[in-house]
Structure 1
Amino acid sequence: MTDQTKGLLITFFGVLFVVPDSLFVRLIEADALTIAFWRLAFAGGLSAFWILALQGTEPFHAVLRTGRFAVIYMIGIGASGILFVVAVSLTSVANVVFIIASLPVFALVFSRIFLREPLSPRTLLTIAAVVPGLAIIAYGSGETENASLAGDLLALCVSALFAASLTAARHVRPVSMVAGMAMAYSAAALLVLPFAHPLLVPVEQFPLVMAHGLFILLSSVLLAIGPRFITSAEVGLLVLLESVLAPLLAWVVIAENPGIYTLIGGGIVVGALFVSNAVLLLRRKKSVGR
């Protein structure tokens, strides 16, 4: 199996495991910060235990040696882990995942600012298409049930924070950031604990809580490993699967109608990113074939 095939498979399954994330938030009968605590504590604690058992403390030291990039990565991952749950509790699942789909746009802007990477005409056209799509989603929040502008803004913050963490990880690509994810999730769980009520979750809900944590653990580990073996365009195309599947899952399981504005705006965002990444991938394949 080639590195590219391995990377595609790992990333694909990582995306599949993250698809039910927002649905779990809807199904668990607890406040947002309590759900965030269990989500982060389970994923962070288990991944830290797994790393310590198999590799000792060296992976943690390797991440910390990257200095400010480790700090940016962990703040971005940890904060987005909390805000994602709060965003889903305030607005519709479709709004959240479509807005977070704009993550590549933030990543490109951050790469331009901090890594001095140029913005191509393709990138500028993508941004020009994505922004109106996000505006349509935000406009529709006042018209759609279960949607709110506050939740949309938090989802936008999640997108920006996660993009910042990925940009930092790209700068230190030889270092695996799985240990950084474990530290970030564990620290975020401790930070949110004083505001959560973890022991008030109904006993019959604990299987859902544990399943939620397990899905996040698997998706986080796989998405920290897989993209190291494939191009950013391939990652971008695979991640768009969540934007399509998560709203469909919420629609089927809990009958959450995303609303016409969200479907139009989300379609513009996902369509623009799909075309942009597909064009980039085709160009790279042509250049390799020469």
Structure 2
Amino acid sequence: MKPSLKPSRLGGLPVAIVGVLLLSPDSLVIRLVSADRFMVLFWRGLMMAVGFAVVAGLSRGPRPAGPILRCDRPALIAGLLLGAANVAFVISITSTDVANTFVIAATSPLIAAFLSRLFLREVVVRRTIVASVLCVAGLALIFLDSVSTANLRGDVVALAYAVLVAGSVTAMRIADQRDIPKAFSLGSACSAVVALPFIVPWDVAVRDVGLLTLTGAVLLPAAFMAVARATEVLPAPVVALVLLLETLTAPLLVWLWLSEQPTDTVLLAGVYLLAVLVGHSVASKGDTDHPEIAGHPPAESRLAHRPRGPQPD
């Protein structure tokens, strides 16, 4: 009998944790590079396009991946929304504190639940409505803290990022999963094209390109594959709880490396929102067929909300 390559449920947990660890340095890298945000967006989008194109090729096995535009419509929509989310993520990370971005973006799964109700006619359970109302209070606290600071624009863009990620997740629920890596590659390429008119001048340090290549072409696609693998054997709420770690690990890395300390208000709101999302996820243990209501955090993105990994033809 041929041994199964599918990870066991016990082995799925460390795989999911590896996915989170691969995602965590992303925002730190954006802060470390010396290039402006549009140069960052171009190279990040370009490298993500290359990385996901490789994933698309690997997921097809020996068969050719086919034309990049040959995707079903939901997958194409998911990819384009991911590209738009990539733009919003870079703008937010460079316009506000990293902790603000991740705490606000952590609400994207609850937004996805309501988008699924609107577009897919799926039922939004009562606990999701309650959790959403509670999250609004936490978000209001963050925005009130930023009203008189330069962080307000970045916080608003972070909320837009959360909505875009939620839209991408909603489209992915009905997409052909084999087309998702190709669609993500296309969306990432589009985000690079969007940055082109704003890049002046065209000089960029080799170190910056190297860092953005590492995250865009290696870490993010690898995280995508790791979390997709974990979701094959772990219940969605369990994966959701693991992925919430990025809301802590990403700002922590920036805090330790760049001494960017969140305000007391953001820390308080972050603890409050995480408590709401963890409680919602624990209460959703039976909702394994609906990962969008199980409390998944963002992550470009984001990538971890897929109910299944790419399947071969």
Give the TM-score of the pair, scaled to structure 2.
0.80
Match of residue 100 from structure 2: 95
Match of residue 263 from structure 1: 267
1:82 aligns with 2:87: yes
Structure 1 CA distance for aligned equivalents of residues 239 and 98 of structure 2: 22
Tell me which amino acid in the other structure corresponds to 1:140: D
| Cα offsets for 1:150-207 (capped at 9, x unmatched) | 1011111111111111111111365351221112112221232232358412234343
> Which runs of structure 2 are paired with 1:265-284 in the superposition (5 Å)?
265-281=269-285, 283=286
Q: Runs (4+) of structure 1 moved beyond 6 Å?
A: none
> Which of residues 175, 191, 194 in structure 1 aligns to 2:197?
194
Cα shift at 1:221: 3.8
Contact in 2 for aligned 1:178/1:221 (Cα 8 Å): no
Question: After the TM superposition, which of the residue ranges 244-253 and 49-58 deviates more from structure 2?
Answer: 49-58
Contact in 1 for aligned 2:236/2:287 (Cα 8 Å): no
Q: Name the SS of the counterpart of 1:175 in structure 2.
A: helix
1:107 aligns with 2:112: yes
> Which of residues 157, 160, 168 in structure 2 aligns to 1:154?
157
Match of residue 23 from structure 1: 28
> Which runs of structure 2 are paired with 1:196-211 in the superposition (5 Å)?
196-197=199-200, 199-211=202-214
Give the TM-score of the pair, scaled to structure 1.
0.86
Cα shift at 1:51: 3.5
Structure 1 CA distance for aligned equivalents of residues 259 and 113 of structure 2: 35
Judged with a 3 Å threshold, the aligned counterparts in structure 2 of structure 1 residues 65 and 200 are, in CA distance, closer, same or farther, namely closer
Identity %: 30
Judged with a 3 Å threshold, the aligned counterparts in structure 2 of structure 1 residues 64 and 134 are, in CA distance, closer, same or farther, namely farther
Q: Name the SS of the counterpart of 1:133 in structure 2.
A: helix
Match of residue 72 from structure 2: 66
Judged with a 3 Å threshold, the aligned counterparts in structure 2 of structure 1 residues 65 and 176 are, in CA distance, closer, same or farther, namely closer
| Cα offsets for 1:24-69 (capped at 9, x unmatched) | 11110011111111111112113314544755544667x84422x1
Contact in 2 for aligned 1:177/1:224 (Cα 8 Å): no
| Cα offsets for 1:10-30 (capped at 9, x unmatched) | 433222111111111111001
Cα shift at 1:244: 1.0
- Structure 2 residue runs of 5 or longer lacking an equivalent are 1-5, 289-313
Structure 2 CA distance for aligned equivalents of residues 224 and 133 of structure 1: 30
1:233 aligns with 2:263: no
Question: After the TM superposition, which of the residue ranges 149-158 and 233-242 deviates more from structure 2?
Answer: 233-242
Question: After the TM superposition, which of the residue ranges 240-249 and 227-236 deviates more from structure 2?
Answer: 227-236
Structure 1 CA distance for aligned equivalents of residues 245 and 54 of structure 2: 30
Judged with a 3 Å threshold, the aligned counterparts in structure 2 of structure 1 residues 171 and 141 are, in CA distance, closer, same or farther, namely same
Structure 2 CA distance for aligned equivalents of residues 97 and 166 of structure 1: 17
The size of the alignment, in residue pairs, is 280
- CA RMSD of the aligned region, Å? 2.5
| Cα offsets for 1:98-133 (capped at 9, x unmatched) | 011001111111111112111212111111111111
Judged with a 3 Å threshold, the aligned counterparts in structure 2 of structure 1 residues 103 and 22 are, in CA distance, closer, same or farther, namely same
Tell me which amino acid in the other structure corresponds to 2:156: L
Cα shift at 1:217: 3.0
Structure 1 CA distance for aligned equivalents of residues 227 and 67 of structure 2: 18
Contact in 2 for aligned 1:14/1:219 (Cα 8 Å): yes
